[in-house]
Amino acid sequence: MQYVYSPRGVCSREMIIEVEGNTIKKVEIIGGCAGNTVGVSRLIQGMDIDEAIKRLKGIPCGNKGTSCPDQLARALEDIKKETQKQ
């Protein structure tokens, strides 16, 4: 299933996340620092959602209090909540 998330407080504008069960199949991050966002996207491909959240949540970027990886963790948390409702 594909999900679209609009991050807040960071340079990226949109995160498109494909999951199957509890596994991340693909992540595309629009905007942000391309090297970092592509790198993070590739690193978590095939990873369990819970493991990705554990690794990414709380990572700051400068004084923002959040970051693209942190926002990705928040998106994954939203996906988990949504799939648990079904």
Read off φ and ψ for residue 75, nearest 5 degrees.
-60, -45
Question: What are 1-51's pLDDT values in tens digits?
Answer: 999 999 999 999 999 999 999 999 999 999 999 999 999 999 999 999 999
Q: H or E segment at 56?
A: helix 49-56
In the chain the domains, ranked by start, together with CATH numbers, are 2-85 (3.30.390)
Q: 75 near 17, Cβ under 8 Å?
A: yes
CB 29 within 8 A of CB 45: no
Q: Which residues pair with 57 in a beta bridge?
A: none
| pLDDT value, residue 5 | 98
Residue 76's SS3 state is helix
